[in-house]
Amino acid sequence: METAILHQILAAIFCGALSGFSLGLIGGGGSVLAVPMLIYLVGMSDPHMAIGTSALAVSLSAFVNLVPHARSGHVRWRMAGLFALAGVGGALVGSTLGKLLNGQKLLLLFALVMMLVAVLMVRRRTAGDDRATCQGSDCFLRVGGAGVTVGALAGFFGIGGGFLVVPGLILSTGMPIIEAVGSSLVSVGAFGLTTAGNYAASGLVDWMVAAEFIGGGVVGGWAGMRMAKRLAGSRKALNYVYAATVFSVGVYVMVRNLSAIGLS
């Protein structure tokens, strides 16, 4: 029994480190990696419990990983705050609906969305200018609208939504990808916390596993942020790393869920 408990603790810390590395490097992918890892590596049997637990862990990890990005000047606070504030309401509605749906079919649809976003990111000719280009009330409408949409999707799928927040910030503001990565952590934390609160109200959060996951996430996030700074000199490189990661995880999630529902 003690061996099994130790294995679960180490697995949760390891999974948290991988998730935190993803958050620090690309500002996303943490929660979509977290759910399958909690199920297949840590051993959580209830998909909805895994979603609620990962949402809490990724949220707090995102806020922790936000600190080094902020110190490096990678956060556009005004745009990041607006995006997050607009998206919290969407995350609340989306997470309420997500709890009612079959988890495997939900993740299958989610995998398709991930691959589409990855392709769109690669096809973009640039990853933003050296300064945010949006100005005035039209900018606030675009950023707020993108925030609501991404927040609803993040809550619906039970994720922090970083892989959607990053392109959402780039498309709505024109900021460079390294700043979109840093700024996205504000929304990832806010959306994840909203989703986790909704799931916790239904008793769908394992607090101990979440704490272990967060511990690993702090270390992984620090390593990911350092790599992101090195790659920031080449915006294309970071953009391709981001797109490849999102697409690969999307394929993995699709294959797992096609097998689970007997279609592969």
pLDDT in tens, 191-238: 989 999 999 999 989 999 999 998 998 888 888 878 877 776 665 676
pLDDT in tens, 14-31: 988 988 887 777 666 666
| Bigger pLDDT: 92 vs 105 | 92
The closest of 205, 226, 231 to 49, measured between CA atoms, is 205
**What residues does each domain of the chain span?**
2-260
Q: What is the DSSP letter of 62?
A: H
As a whole number of angstroms, the distance between CA 161 and CA 174 comes to 19
Q: How high is the pLDDT of residue 134?
A: 61
* Mean pLDDT within 127-143: 63
**What are the angstrom distances between the C-alpha of 6 and each of 1, 9, 37, 57, 119?**
9, 5, 16, 19, 40
**What are the angstrom distances between the C-alpha of 98 and each of 90, 102, 103, 180, 198?**
12, 8, 8, 27, 10
The closest of 35, 114, 106 to 257, measured between CA atoms, is 106
Please say if the pLDDT value at position 59 is more than 50: yes
Evaluated on CA atoms 89, 91, 94, 97, the torsion sign reads: negative
Q: Buried b vs exposed e over 59-96: b needs ≥16 C-beta within 10 Å?
A: bbbbbbbbebbbeeebbbeebbbbbbbbbbebbbbbbb
pTM recorded for the entire structure? 0.76
Q: What percent of the chain has pLDDT over 90?
A: 20
CA angle 102, 103, 109 (to 5 degrees): 95
As a whole number of angstroms, the distance between CA 113 and CA 258 comes to 15
Q: How confident is the model at residue 131 (pLDDT cuts 50, 70, 90)?
A: very low
Q: How confident is the model at residue 137 (pLDDT cuts 50, 70, 90)?
A: low
pLDDT in tens, 31-49: 667 877 888 888 887 888 8
Q: What is the DSSP letter of 40?
A: I
Query: What end-to-end distance do the CA atoms of the chain give, in Å?
Result: 36
